[in-house]
Every structure is written in C-alpha cells, then in structure tokens.
A and B are shown apart, each in its own frame.
Chain A
Amino acid sequence: MSHPVLKDAPGASVCMLGNHAIVRGALEAGLQFFSCYPGTPSSEVGDLLAQISKPAGVLFEYSINEKVAVEVAFAASLTGARSMCSMKHLGLNYAGDPISTMPYVGVEGGMVVVSAGDPSAITSPNEQDQRHFSRFLYYPVFDPATPADAYRMTRYAFEFSEKTRLPVIMRPTTRVCHTSGMVEYGPLSETRNEIRFTKNPPRYVPIPVNARRMRRELIDRFALAEELLGRSDFFPRHGSGTMGVIGSGVGYAYASEILNELGLFDRVSLLQIGAYPIPETILSEFLASVESVLVVEELTPYVEEIVSLNAFRHGRSIPVYGKNSGHFPVEFEYDPDMVEDAIRKFLQLEPRTVVEVALPELPPRPPVLCSGCPHRTSFYLARKVFGKNTVYVNDIGCYTLGYGEPLHSCDVLLCMGSSISQASGIARTTGKRTVAYIGDSTFFHSGLPPLANAVQANDDITVVILNNYITAMTGFQPSFSAWDSQYPDSSNNGQKDRGIVLLDAVKGLGVKEVFSVDPFDEAQTLDAFKKAKSGKGVNVVICNSPCAVHRVRVEPDGNRAPYIIDQDKCNACSLCVRVLGCPGIVVEDGVYFIDASMCDGCDLCAYVCNRDAIHQVEVREHA
C-alpha cells in the first residue's frame, strides 16, 4: 500500500504532521532532489522522504552533514532540479558557508532549505531565530503558523524560488513540526523540471569580479521577492478594529484563537506575517489603519523592530508593543496563556482569572541512557582507567547523557564535532591527556577535520568513538559507519565488519595508535584504554556495539535474556546503582532487583558486582 502522502486525491482532507505537510507541499510542487541531516525537530521531513522517495521519483540522501546536504541540493538545483534539504536550526549554522554565497549565485530549479527552530531549547543547546537570515543573507524566509501553512508555503516556495532565483528558507518551529493538523490536498505535480546543465562560468562562479555583479543583481532579486510576496496570501488580515495585533509563527495561531474565543475581532485587527521580507506596503497599510500595535512572535523582536521602522518611515507615530515593551519575555516559547495575558493588557481588559490548585511536588523523568546502551559500558570502563581527574569532553548525541550522576562523563560540551577540538585545546594548555567522546554519526559529520588537526598538532588526546552504527538520538537514521543500511541496493558494500569504514578513516588521517573493541568485551576494552592512557599523542579507541534499541528492532534474535539479582548474595551495597544508572535496576525498600521487562541483558551490572550476585536468567520468557 502506498503511503497516504503520495495519494493523488485533490481536495482530500488529511490530518498530518507539520513536517509531513512540508513533504506533501514539496511533492505537489514536483520535488526532484532531497538531502538532509537529521535533527530534532526537523527529522520527520527526511524520515518520510526516505520511505517514499523511490515511488515519488525523488533522488534522496541522508547527507553526512548539513553543509554537504545544502551543497548537493544546491548543485542539483543548478542542473534544473527542484530541490529541498532539511535540518534543525543549528544545522543551518553549520552550512553557513555555502548558505552565504548561494543567493549570490542563485538557483535554477527552485530550492527550499527547511531549517526547523527549537524555541525553549527543548532538544538543543540553544534557541535561535533563523528569520534573521532574511536580512542577514538575503533569504526569503517562510514562517508557518500551522501544518496547513507549512504545506501551502512549501508548495508555493519552489516556483517563487525560480522566479527570484533565490534559495528560500522554510522555518517551522517545534509546535508546527510536531503538530498534526488538517491539510487539504491539491493535485500532485505531473511535470518535472528538465535536467540540464549549461556551462556558463560567469553565472556559476562567484570569483570577485562576478561576485560584485551578483551582489547588485541580488538586491534587485530580493526586491522582486518582496513584490511577489506582496501578492501572496501569506499575510491575511482578520477583524475590523483599530487595535492592531501582528502575529508570526505559532504566536499568530495563539493570538487568532484567543481573539476568536474572546470575541474581540470588532475591536482588533489581526495581521499574520507568514514570510520575510515583509512587503512594505502590506505593513504600512495595516499600520495606517490602527492606533496601536501588539506584536506576537517568539525568539527575538524581529517583526517588532521592522514594524517600528516601517511606522517611522511612513510618519506613523503609534505605540508598538511586544518584547521590548515587556508585554512578552524575550526568551523561550510562548503559550496561549501568555498571549492572552498580553492581549488583555494591550486592550486594558480585566486580567484572566486563574484558579491555583496546590500540587504535591512531582518527580522529574529526565532522559537516561537506555538499559543495555553500549555507551554506558564504554563510559564506565573508560572512567575506571582514566579516573575522575581526567577531563571528559563530550559531543552531541545520546552519549551526552553521560552528563552528571552517575557516569560523570561529560565535563565540557559545545556543538557537533567539537569534542575533539576542545580536547585538543584543553590538553595543549593543561599538558594533561584529555578524553573526547564522539559518536559515529557525529564523527563523520564534523569530527574528521578536528582529528586531522589534532594529529598535526600531536595533541595528547584519546578520542573514544562510540560506534553504535546508527544516528540514534534523532530517531535511528542510518550512519555512514553502517554503509550497507544507508545504501541497501548499492553493490560496493558487502563488508561484514561495518566498523571497518571508521577504522580505515581514522588510520587514514594518520592516527598511529588505534584500537577497535567491543565494549562488552570488558577485558579487551580495559586493555585498550590502558594502552591509550599511557600512549603519546593522539590515539583512538573505537567502541563498536549496536544501539540497544535499534538492535532489537532489526535483529530477530536481538533480544538477550535478562539478568536477575540473587537476593542471597546481594548485600545491598548499592555499587551497581551508584556507578551505572541503568534504569533496569530497581530499588524498593532497600531491596535491589532487576525489572526483567526493562533489562536488556547487557551483562554490565553483573560485571560490576563484587559479590557475584547478578546472573543471566537461563531461558528468556517470551512475552
């Protein structure tokens, strides 16, 4: 059965995830090429395309990183293909270099860069406002409020991109990406752009002499973008009042629903900002019709400041409220209550009545490495050898959860691939061997250059590559270290030991001392760590063991029999709990036992136990 997103059913009303709505919009526009690097909250865009690219006739790749994703998609566009790539907000920074010059060169086939935002830093080390790329680098940026917006904006964006020759950014935030809403299907495109590359170096090569010409053209093309957006329906206006509310993104959705529920549309006019650059006339006409404005937007006072500027330029001296006025906080996501409070304040209405109910303190449920996760074993064994005074630099992935109690394996963290370079910096100034942890996917993403750099500088660092053959944290996308799962049909694989790709890469960069181990072979792994600790310069320990969750999904015999604690031998010393933090171990009224439904049978607690109290159950009961 083909996937519902591929259904050729114009007029059908479908409830779809915001990220899937983007895919539908792109398919209706005749998408031909897609690339991505996964990152929450963008990942479902690529994951859906991975499933349907073949029947949809879309060339697809999970790229090695976002810079590459953007570059291949841009080049595909230069051959005429309608192309799209997706990533999270930080991925767009990583692709900052190509992103900066692409508008100069300009596209042939329409190109959409999906860069999902994460206000409140729910799954990211920061929150940032990609709308600034619009003024910063001349990008039209689309700012959907709902899945339906995401769909219609994406469908529109390709042709728009071709007319202006500008690549465009689609910026949904978590509350759009991960919300399912109604989308009304249009027809799937029956035609595809013709693929042809015509040599024309002055057009495609931004050497300074061409770049300066492109710079001038860019200003004109951006002006055209503003003009076209002025004729689009991404700036709808509701209500007839003289109090102006301007909303963007999910802030618009909240404001619209609240004004509707409170029946305020006779007092208020609501304008949605669905894209940037905001057409000057749409804004000035709106401002001419209201006495005062409240701007509802997350992250930075981006629209707010454009509104102030526009009012000033057009001689409208009206108050503009928003973040700068204290109606909204500068940081983090908004919620409906916050927006209602601000609207009430703006309209001088009674404050909302709030009934407070006392609640006992609720325990948190912080994310934790899964039971049986190979990273836990690697962390535990490395710490056993390198001790508590060594600095452990960590990286972005599940293994970030080595942070804090009880593994203490994340003293420093910054961004994708930074563990190796940061370990270099720390080792060079302190003169002490420093440990860097990095996963396989992140290593190929951005760990190769810093490793080459460390080799060149002969830094005293030990790089531990936690190879679980998958990009686990973002939802189990393939990793380059598992070559054959990314290209199941390709003929150039057949390597049984897939970790070989990683090993060759590390050796190829000139690392002399490389150990490739299975972390669940504790003796072998400890031995490797000991040698690495007493080594000179850069050495690398590759810990190969599949992600526990993924293993049981793909291997029919992936289930390992659980362990049990022999109550006659256990003296409740609490060691296993103090050093491992495996959620499979439960303590109740001072009694230690293993929850068989949670235990992955990894053997680590049995290895750790001094009293030989933990053993594997002989036969696994099948639930």
Chain B
Amino acid sequence: MHDNPKNGDFLLRILLAGTGGQGVITAARLLSEYFVRKGDQVLSAQLHGMAQRGGAVQSTVCVNSGISPALPRGGADVVLGCEPVEAARALPYVSADTIVFVNTAPIVPFVLSQNYVLESGPSEYPGLHALEKSLRAATLRVFPLDATKIAQDAGSLKTLNVVMLGCLFGSGVVPYPSQDFIDTIMVLAPPNLAETNTAAFKMGVEFAESLNVVEQVS
C-alpha cells in the first residue's frame, strides 16, 4: 500500500492467481465488494478463458488506482498465489516492493501428469525451490504457506481463497480492521460456508500477523 498522490487515498493493487476452481474470481469479487462498501474506488479485471476447469486464472483488484484494467510490469503491491506455478506466472507484476503470499501445495497440470508431448514448456512440474528462488530474486517479501492444509484444517478445501485473503489482511496493508471483512463474508458468501470461511480467514490473518510483514521489510 502507498499513498495515492491524486486524491490522498491509499492505493492498493492486488493480483490473485491460481487455477480454475480455486475460487480466485470469487475472492476478487468479495474483495471488490468489500472495498466498495468502504467507500473506495475499485477496478477489478478478470482474465478467464473457456468454461472448462483447470486453466490458469488471474484476477486483479485495484483500489483507488485509476482506469487501467491491466497492471504494468512490477505493478502489483500484493500477489496472492493460490498455487506455486501460478504465483510464479505472476512474476512480471512483481517488483522489489511487492508482497507475495504463495501457497506451497502444487496442482500438477494434467498435461504433465499424463505425460503429453508438448510443443513447448517443461516435461516436469518445476521444483518448488526453483519457483521460490525466482520470486525471491524479484522481492524479499515472499511468504510461503501451506494454505491448502490450512483450508482443510478450517473445514473445507473450498476456503483456500479465503485463507489467502486472510493473509492479505494479516499483512497490515489494508487500512481497515480485518473483522470488517468477516462481516462481508457473512453477507456475501454462501451461508452454509460462513463458519468455515470465517475460521479459514482468521487462520490466514493469524499466519500473516505472525510474520510482521510490513515491519519486517521496511
């Protein structure tokens, strides 16, 4: 987060990355709605392909930024990577100031797991270490976590996206109390998931708070 010289508001550009079915688009929608309710200006772009499951998904949520729907190179303040390869795919948007939360549980693309002969690309899922290293070469603020396990502990794999949102709030870059966001979940998320979502969100917040993200890096 930094100050927006244009209107004195804060400015925050968040990139959510993951694979189809991980709830990236839903998370972007929850976040957008939350900031709108706070009275901020929100611009959120979704990059999604066909209806089929399993593709790469990137969504942006830009708060008080401007009118451009796409991020420039290095333009993300925060990257929430729901999957290691997808976090790495967001690297062009990472600068030395970017905070990256990355889920360490891989989802291996089926073209690899079924040994397809590909025209391009690697024949194996890249090593987690190598992925993390490239992210760290771009920014020191890389925070890996097993969000998949946290979501399971919270009660449902479906809350993975909310765990990642918890990290965002726990990192201290959002200038509002995290309890507010729980209210948004209560209103907007499916009621049967409200409790697990809240638990998952709190676990994400706790994880990020324990890191002292903002202090650690400045």
Judge whether A256 and B67 touch: CB under 8 Å: yes
Interface residues of B in 51-103 (CB under 8 A from A): 51-56, 65-75, 85, 88-89, 91, 94-96
Judge whether A577 and B51 touch: CB under 8 Å: no
Judge whether A362 and B85 touch: CB under 8 Å: yes
Residues of A close to B44: CB separation below 8 A: 15, 179-181
Which of A202-210, A319-327, A332-340, A506-514 interfaces with chain B?
A: A332-340
A369 to chain B, nearest CB (A): 7
Residues of B close to A309: CB separation below 8 A: none
Say whether, besides A179-B44, A336-B70, A363 and B52 are in contact (CB < 8 Å): no
- Interface 1/0s, chain B 14-49, versus A by CB < 8 A? 000001000000000100110010000111111111
Q: Is A487 an interface residue when CB atoms closer than 8 A count as contact?
A: no
Residues of A close to B68: CB separation below 8 A: 250, 253-254, 256-258, 336
Top 6 closest pairs, chain A to chain B, by CB: A179-B69, A336-B72, A257-B68, A360-B126, A583-B110, A257-B66
Residues of A close to B47: CB separation below 8 A: 178
- Measured CB to CB, the residues of B under 8 A from A are 6, 19, 29, 32-33, 36, 41-56, 65-75, 85, 88-89, 91, 94-96, 108-118, 120-122, 125-127, 130-131, 134, 137-138
A88 to chain B, nearest CB (A): 13
Residues of A close to B70: CB separation below 8 A: 175, 250, 254, 335-336
| From B43, B73, B125, B131, contact of A354 by CB (8 A) | B73
Q: In the complex, what distance in Å separates the CA atom of A367 from the CA atom of B29?
A: 23
A248 to chain B, nearest CB (A): 14
Judge whether B109 and A363 touch: CB under 8 Å: yes
| From A257, A366, A398, contact of B67 by CB (8 A) | A257
- Interface 1/0s, chain A 139-157, versus B by CB < 8 A? 0000001100000000000
The secondary structure that dominates the B interface is: loop
Judge whether A367 and B66 touch: CB under 8 Å: no
| From B48, B67, B122, contact of A362 by CB (8 A) | B122
Interface residue tally on A, bucketed by range? 35 or more
A470 to chain B, nearest CB (A): 10
Judge whether B36 and A13 touch: CB under 8 Å: yes
What are 11 A-B pairs with beta-carbon distances under 8 A?
A13-B36, A15-B42, A175-B70, A180-B43, A181-B43, A182-B41, A260-B6, A336-B68, A357-B138, A360-B131, A398-B51
Q: A257-B68, A359-B91 are in contact. List 18 more A-B contacts (CB 8 A).
A: A175-B45, A178-B48, A250-B69, A250-B70, A254-B68, A256-B67, A257-B66, A335-B72, A336-B71, A363-B126, A364-B118, A364-B120, A365-B109, A365-B111, A366-B111, A367-B52, A398-B50, A587-B114
Of all chain A residues, which has the CB nearest B56? A365
Judge whether B66 and A401 touch: CB under 8 Å: no
Judge whether B67 and A145 touch: CB under 8 Å: yes
Q: In the complex, what distance in Å separates the CA atom of A368 from the CA atom of B131?
A: 25
Q: Is A123 an interface residue when CB atoms closer than 8 A count as contact?
A: yes
Judge whether A15 and B52 touch: CB under 8 Å: no
B134 to chain A, nearest CB (A): 5
Of all chain B residues, which has the CB nearest A178? B46
Q: In the complex, what distance in Å separates the CA atom of A581 from the CA atom of B118?
A: 13
Residues of A close to B118: CB separation below 8 A: 363-364
Interface residues of A in 336-355 (CB under 8 A from B): 336-337, 340, 352, 354-355
Q: Is A410 an interface residue when CB atoms closer than 8 A count as contact?
A: no
Q: In the complex, what distance in Å separates the CA atom of A547 from the CA atom of B91?
A: 36
Q: In the complex, what distance in Å separates the CA atom of A253 from the CA atom of B89?
A: 24
